[in-house]
Amino acid sequence: MAPRTHALALSPRRAELASFDHAYAVAVQRRRETGRHQFVIHTDEPLQPYRVTTVPPVDAQDVVMHVA
């Protein structure tokens, strides 16, 4: 599944922090540090389009990546 994108204009730094690549890197780091499964989910929020959590979302379609 390809990550979804938004047309909101962000500063270059904000765009970098809000990117799928950054969320994935955070998920991998948290998995390494905690040993717990991490989920990168799509939020439908333009300023935070991706979020990392240890709790699987109710709607499986929101999961973009599962770091096991």
Question: What pLDDT, in 10s, does the model give residues 11-45?
Answer: 999 999 999 999 999 999 999 999 999 999 999 99
Is the pLDDT score of 5 beyond 70? no
Q: Is 64 exposed, middle or buried (0-12, 13-18, 19+ CB in 10 A)?
A: buried
**From CA 41, how far away is CA 52, in angstroms rounded?**
6
pLDDT of residue 59: 87
SS3 for 61?
helix
Please give the residue that has the higher pLDDT: either 32 or 46. 32
pLDDT of residue 25: 98
pTM of the predicted protein model: 0.81
